[in-house]
Structure 1
Amino acid sequence: MISQDTIVALASPSGAGAIAVIRISGNDAITIAASVFQSVSGKDLTKQKTHTLHLGHIVDGSKTIDQVLVSIFKGTQSYTGENTIEISCHGSTYIQQQIIQLLLRRGCRMANAGEFTLRSFLNGKMDLSQAEAVADLISSDNEASHQIAMQQMRGGFSNEIAKLREELLNFASLIELELDFAEEDVEFADRTQFNDLLNRIEFVLKRLIDSFAVGNVIKNGIPVAIVGEPNVGKSTLLNALLNEERAIVSEIAGTTRDTIEDELVIGGIGFRFIDTAGIRETKDVVESIGIRKTFEKIEQAQVILYLSPLTPKGGTLTDENIAQVKIDIERILNQFPLKPLVVIGNKRDLLSDEEILNLKSKIPNILLISAKNNEGVDDLKNQLLSFVNTGALRNNETIVTNTRHYDSLLKALDEIQKVKYGLQTNLSSDLMALDIREALYQFGTITGQVTNDELLGNIFANFCIGK
């Protein structure tokens, strides 16, 4: 599947900038670049060492297009595992297009999405899980997702899978050998050691599968719905969390007619806050649509922030007011029992010390804040972080974020459990061998030891051009 032609693409973001980087890769990359490059010192680009920089001009006949820096990476010492040239030119879109069009005329082909990384995988520079981590690294927008992508790109996940696969393969070879001597009824694979290995593989697979719950929210952000009755300060809280005037704040109940979403990174973890329309009985058709959307957003969220002012207009805290809050809390818990719920009492600046003590005695887990004065907002952020198991991140453990990997791990675990059952029930070696082969196959699909053109096409189609 490895193409021998030479490809070119813009490796930096499209549009004007200070500089742009144009990448060329293929057997003829250096030769083609040399045909349009004139070194200021008269050097021949084809005779220069790998990992060197050269100042000169890109020329089209007698026409000079731009002064550039050319980087040379030869053969297996490059990102793609083949001759690669990177041209750093000025960031004018006109200059970029002129250089790319010139290279196309000299024999290059426009690269497909992810084709540089695809060639890196096909040339053995990285396995498939590492290649997929490249895309995750590019799209990472917070510390945690960046940390996970870096660990996977360095081979942390694939090394763990490869080790398990190698150990299982060794036993599989012994099981297969037994099939060749089936008539002699001999056992080459120590069943006790094999059972210990299966237990260890099962333990690791379950840990990796469980990590997906954390990895998925870290990669995509944790959706948090801010809900409550109208005019309790939901929009004010969103603005306080984001430290900007993102939502409209008004004394008029029902001001927020639609959901407003924005993202915030807390402790390296991305959170997507959803400010919803107030929940109340209303005859307003538009507001009713907003309230219906509120419940849809709560369904999509992983954490719910229930916000109440807990103070009526008169400024005194009544038992009736507290009772209503309890009713709202119970309704949310009954409808969404598995979602973490944070009960927040807003406008604490309007409460007396006596009222605060009374309130905490009746709603023990309530978090009192003043969104308007930004009091207690940091406590809320810390509580949100407590819902995310960051222990694996701190301990630099492998965390699965890729749905394809997750699916293969589930299938591998199923096959391993079948092998364990076969071992316990003295199943014949030929039947156990089938399940072992399937488990090895699932391991191989993760790292790319087992693959096909359709799979690679689906994976690399999601990459950006130039990478």
Structure 2
Amino acid sequence: MLNNDSIVALATASGAGAIAIIRISGADAISIGNSVFKSVKNKDLTQQKSHTLHLGQIVDGTKTLDEVLVSVFKGPNSYTGENTIEISCHGSTYIQQQIIQLLLRKGCRMAEAGEFTLRAFLNGKLDLSQAEAVADLIASDNEASHQIAMQQMRGGFSNEIAKLREELLNFASLIELELDFAEEDVEFADRTQFNELINRIELVLKRLVDSFAVGNVIKNGIPVAIVGEPNVGKSTLLNALLNEERAIVSDIAGTTRDTIEDELVIGGIGFRFIDTAGIRETQDYVESIGIKKTFEKIEQAQVVLYLVDGCQLSENQKLDDLLVDIGKIKNQFPLKPIVFIINKKDLISEENLAEINKKLTSDNDQLTTIFISAKQNSGIEELKNQLLSFVNTGALRNNETIVTNTRHYDSLLKALEEIQKVKYGLETNLSSDLMALDIKEALYQFGMITGQVTNDELLGNIFANFCIGK
């Protein structure tokens, strides 16, 4: 699958900018670059040391296209493991296209999506999980997802898997040796040590599998639905959280008829807020569609903010009705964290606030209740802190490995299943040949994560999602 031809692509974002970087990689990359480069000091790029910068011009015959800086990286000490040059030119789209077309005429071909990183993987510069982390790093839009991608790209996850695989492989070799001497009834693998290893691998795999629940929401953002009756301040709350006029606010009930979504980073974690249509009985066809979508968004959300108008809770009957509604929602969505937010606290007397709080907490000590004034931006920070409390960031703070990739998660689950089969085999004195099959399957799943076991279809699926210049 590894080609030795030279590939070229724009490594910076497409469009005009101050500068652009054009990358070439391949056996002839430096000589091709040298053929179009005129150094201000008459340098020959093929004779220059690796990791050096050179000022000059890109020329097409007698025509000068641009004044540039050329970076030279000689294989194997480059990102791809091949000879690589990067041309830093001015960011005009015309200049970019002229230089790329010139390089194509000189023998390069356009790189495919992710081909530079694919070559880095095939040349042993990084394993498959590290290569996937490159794409995650480019896509990261908050501190947490960036931290996880950096840790994985530096090999934190790979090293953990590689260590487990190596230890398991050593015991697998001893098991295979036993099979070669099956007639002599000897044991080369210490069953006590083997059992300790299997228990340790099982614990590590369970921790990694469990981390996916956190990693997935950190990578993709945590969906939070803002729900409640019409005209209680849902759109005002969204605007207060985002600190901008994102949603239309009016005193007319039913103003929001469709869901409005926007993202906010709180404490390094991405949250995706969804302002929904007010829940009520209505004959309006369009509004009823919006209400139906509200319940769909509640189903998809991982956290629900149930907003009520505090001014309407001055009577005990209103409070009792609210508690009934609370019970219905919690019964309908028992596994979702639900925060009940009492809005417009600035319009409620201290006496009524105390009465409402007492009633809510005495009737339901498990209820998470926050008093806010969305219009006055009061209580918003407390709400943000409450949202952060729903995310288990302990592993993130302790720099533990967190799984964010669905493919890795699937392989870890399968590896865990095989390890548990081996554990059962040890407990029941299962024959070595049957345990060997389960060990091989576990090793296969480990190899699928790091790329020691691959196929063209797998690599094609992974790297097709990369941007062209990476």
Q: TM-score, normalised by structure 1?
A: 0.99
Distance 2:279 2:418 in 1: 48
Unaligned runs of at least 5 residues, structure 1 = none
Distance 2:256 2:317 in 1: 26
1:173-322 mapped onto 2 (5 Å cutoff)? 173-312=173-312, 317-322=314-319
Partner of 2:139: 139
Distance 2:304 2:392 in 1: 17
Distance 2:415 2:134 in 1: 24
Deviation at 1:320, TM superposition (A): 2.0
Distance 1:79 1:335 in 2: 52
Partner of 1:366: 369
Partner of 1:398: 401
Q: Once the two structures are superposed, what CA deviation does each residue of 1:171-212 show, in whole Å capped at 9, x if it has no partner?
A: 000000000000000000000100000000000000000000
Distance 1:428 1:112 in 2: 49
1:23-102 mapped onto 2 (5 Å cutoff)? 23-102=23-102
Runs of 4+ displaced beyond 2 Å: none
Q: Once the two structures are superposed, what CA deviation does each residue of 1:265-310 show, in whole Å capped at 9, x if it has no partner?
A: 0000000000000000011111000000000000000000000012
Deviation at 1:120, TM superposition (A): 0.2
Distance 2:30 2:381 in 1: 55
Is 1:432 matched up with 2:429?
A: no
Distance 1:282 1:27 in 2: 69
Is 1:444 matched up with 2:450?
A: no
Distance 2:343 2:353 in 1: 11
Deviation at 1:326, TM superposition (A): 1.3
Partner of 1:418: 421
Distance 2:369 2:449 in 1: 45
Partner of 1:328: 325
Q: Once the two structures are superposed, what CA deviation does each residue of 1:333-380 show, in whole Å capped at 9, x if it has no partner?
A: 111110000000000001111101101111124210000000000000
Partner of 1:344: 341
What amino acid does structure 1 have at the position aligned with 2:455?
N
Partner of 2:162: 162
Distance 1:463 1:208 in 2: 25
Distance 1:178 1:44 in 2: 61
What amino acid does structure 1 have at the position aligned with 2:322?
V
Q: Once the two structures are superposed, what CA deviation does each residue of 1:382-423 show, in whole Å capped at 9, x if it has no partner?
A: 000000000000000000000000000000000000001111
Distance 2:242 2:325 in 1: 26
Distance 1:322 1:102 in 2: 74
What amino acid does structure 2 have at the position aligned with 1:152?
Q
Distance 2:104 2:409 in 1: 41
Distance 1:186 1:41 in 2: 73
Q: What SS is found at the alignment partner of 2:76?
A: helix
Deviation at 1:322, TM superposition (A): 1.2
Q: What SS is found at the alignment partner of 1:426?
A: coil
Contact 1:311 1:321 in 2 (8 A): no
Partner of 1:172: 172
- CA RMSD in angstroms comes to 0.6
Distance 2:346 2:76 in 1: 65
Deviation at 1:324, TM superposition (A): 2.3
Distance 1:296 1:324 in 2: 24
Distance 1:155 1:242 in 2: 36
Q: Once the two structures are superposed, what CA deviation does each residue of 1:232-264 show, in whole Å capped at 9, x if it has no partner?
A: 000000000000000000000000010000000
Q: What SS is found at the alignment partner of 1:311?
A: helix
Unaligned runs of at least 5 residues, structure 2 = 362-367
What amino acid does structure 2 have at the position aligned with 1:451?
T
Deviation at 1:460, TM superposition (A): 0.3
What is the percent sequence identity of the aligned residues? 82
Distance 1:328 1:67 in 2: 69
Partner of 2:365: none
Contact 1:53 1:69 in 2 (8 A): yes
Contact 1:310 1:321 in 2 (8 A): no
Q: What SS is found at the alignment partner of 2:90?
A: strand
What amino acid does structure 1 have at the position aligned with 2:42?
G
Moved more, 422-431 or 198-207: 422-431
Distance 2:360 2:264 in 1: 28
Q: What SS is found at the alignment partner of 1:344?
A: strand
Q: What SS is found at the alignment partner of 2:341?
A: strand
What amino acid does structure 2 have at the position aligned with 1:190?
D
Q: TM-score, normalised by structure 2?
A: 0.98
Count of aligned pairs? 464
